[in-house]
Amino acid sequence: MQWHYDLSVTSAAVDQPLRAFLQHQLQLPKRLIGDLRRNRRVLINERYHPMNTWLQAKDHVSLTFLPTDFRNPFPNTLLDPHLHIPILFENADFIVVNKPRGLKTHANQLGETGAVLNGVAAQFAPQPIYMIHRLDQETSGALLLGKSPAAVPILTKMIREKQIRREYLVWVRGRLPAASGIIRAPIGRNPHDQRKRQVNGPDAQPAVTHYRTLQTTTKASLLAVRLETGRTHQIRVHFSLLGHPVQNDPLYDPQVEVGAAMKLHSWRVQMRTPFFNQPLTVTAPLPPEMKTPIEN
């Protein structure tokens, strides 16, 4: 098995050496660039050239990746054919699925199935599927998964550096004093409950959340939220800090209704595709529980 890419050099990529094109334009890690160079699996116009060769307009760069280029090219994911996960977008490198609320992103116990990754792996078997990022179990919506191991480090870097813009919809309790704002509060562990996080807890890391109000009712607000950082439970902790917890959050909402849905949805993903740099926007339709707030 191998993964092959034929790329046309655009005007934005000319007048730079091949190495810079691979490292900065394609955002390949240095280790993969080294493998391509040593094994002469990066070609310009079907011929091998040194990495310091300058690219010209209309050049064609071809890349071939082999399983030996990757630490875990064929992850041993248990298949769960009983789960059908809706696909919102698919190309040769990655997919965006609409994660149902209540499912884990990935199993974390030996022999466990029933997670999104198990279901998607069954849908695409025998092609391997790769983790890119995760959503909390009670969060629904757009989730990226990889189909090509060559795209995984690129997508991971794009997530880490916020080149992929992810926007959430959330119903919180009450009305915020400002229609929009930025929450800056470091998030760390909760020393009394390993399931939870807290502002300024042990090992706290910077956390920044942007929000804008879309709709208000007598007892709730619908917010569009964008994360500048990606800390565990960041949205949930930050709005709990303000006294406006996510509705029905099982960990942070004092008024939680047992068994009811948490009102948090990964709504929209905006990005450019790896290797081909095409603009992409994917929107995850709202599940029924997100369409109306709790009014008690």
Residues annotated catalytic, as ranges: 136
- Cβ 188 vs Cβ 201: under 8 Å: yes
- Cβ 94 vs Cβ 148: under 8 Å: yes
Count CB atoms within 10 A of the CB of residue 12: 8
